[in-house]
Amino acid sequence: MERVAYRIHRLVTAGLLVLGGGAATALATEPCGDFGECKVLVEINASDGDIGFHFLMDGDDLESASLRGPKGVRIFEDRARGPLLEQKLTETFAESAEPLCWHDPEADPDEEIVTLEQFLARWAPGAYTFNGVGEDGEKSNGTTFLTHHLPAAPADVDFDGSVISWAVGDDLGHCASFAELNALVAHGVLPSHPQDVPVVAWEIVLEPDVDEGDPVGKLKLSLRVPGDVSPMEVTVPADYLAALPADTPAKIEVGAIGHNDNATFSEEDGFCLNEDDGCD
């Protein structure tokens, strides 16, 4: 997923708009023990068929930080050195690699496949504990929780030239069909079917789909709206569209964000912004 670089920006207010920045999946636990906030979550790209583990913590003047899983095993450690040790750490955001969860016929045949069931077995639900050490050995601790309640992928993502729309889905795209999810629930792998997981927010990202290095590509539009928004649509600001050239190709992704910040995204491309002669 190419969007992950801008997930660090946390849009914690429904409807908050960010131009050129991007969106975030973490509506972090606040406060989180001695930390200002922290979060662990599962993120799925249902369209590309990949899945990852993300985490976020925010402390004050730390020299090192670490994360432990439900069994107490340390799974991450970050230590400041040199000038960073002098300045100290505060926020740490990271994410795992995002392996395919399906056998994509266009992927490298040697690429690792981690099915949804395998991923969930690897990342157990439960308490994840953040630890930090500050100057003079001062310790910080905080705990948050990972769940396997995964919201269904948004469906029918569309754009009519000014309005982005979508619908509620009932599966996880390439990562698991409706029938496969039923089987996982029946065997106790999933605690609930994704179609039954409440969506607390929808995250919408509109990204010009241009060549690398084209400054237009930096003009991403991102926003979140409440999960109960009706109809399920947002109007793209006219000022944003006016900042883009005619016939700008674009891709759109819509994410369903669950109450524990697990997120499932659907992507669609082939849209044309400010269409005149048509996009190539």
Per-residue pLDDT of 158-190, as tens digits, reads: 999 999 999 999 999 999 999 999 999 999 999
Q: Is 201 domain-assigned?
A: yes
Q: Quick one: 167 and 90 in the same domain?
A: no
Confidence label for 206 from pLDDT (cuts 50, 70 and 90): very high
CATH of the domain at 188: 2.60.40.10
Mean pLDDT, the chain, rounded, equals 89
Domain boundary among 93, 122, 146: 146
Q: Which domain holds residue 161?
A: 155-273
Q: Burial-class residue 204 by CB neighbours within 10 Å (0-12, 13-18, 19+).
A: buried
Tell me if residue 80 falls in helix, strand or coil. Answer: coil
State yes or no: pLDDT of 9 exceeds 80: no
Q: What is the pLDDT of residues 69-112, one digit of tens each?
A: 999 999 999 999 999 999 999 988 999 999 999 999 988 888 89
Angle at 15 between CA 10 and CA 16, to 5 degrees: 45
The whole-number pLDDT of residue 230 equals 95
Instruction: Using the CB atoms, write b or e for 96-131: b if 16+ within 10 Å.
Output: bebbbbbeeeeeeeeeeebbbbebbeebebeebbbb
Q: Quick one: 167 and 269 in the same domain?
A: yes
Confidence label for 210 from pLDDT (cuts 50, 70 and 90): very high
Number of domains in the chain: 2
Q: Is 14 domain-assigned?
A: no
| 94 and 40 Cβ atoms separated by less than 8 Å | no
Q: Is 180 domain-assigned?
A: yes
Q: Is 159 domain-assigned?
A: yes
Q: Quick one: 164 and 133 in the same domain?
A: no
Q: Quick one: 125 and 166 in the same domain?
A: no
Q: Is 221 domain-assigned?
A: yes
Q: Quick one: 171 and 240 in the same domain?
A: yes
Q: Is 7 domain-assigned?
A: no
Q: Quick one: 37 and 99 in the same domain?
A: yes
Confidence label for 278 from pLDDT (cuts 50, 70 and 90): confident
Q: What is the pLDDT of residues 111-145, one digit of tens each?
A: 899 999 999 999 999 999 999 999 889 999 999 99
Specify the DSSP class assigned to residue 48.
T
Confidence label for 30 from pLDDT (cuts 50, 70 and 90): confident
Q: Which residues contact 226 (CB under 8 A, 6 or more apart)?
A: 14, 15, 200, 201, 202
Domain boundary among 146, 164, 196: 146
Q: What is the pLDDT of residues 34-46, one digit of tens each?
A: 999 999 999 999 9
Q: What is the percent of the chain with per-residue pLDDT over 90, rounded to a whole number?
A: 79
Q: Quick one: 128 and 228 in the same domain?
A: no
Q: Is 8 domain-assigned?
A: no
Domain boundary among 115, 146, 177: 146
Across 14-18, 70-74, 209-213, the highest mean pLDDT is recorded for: 70-74
| Residues in a beta bridge with 82 | none
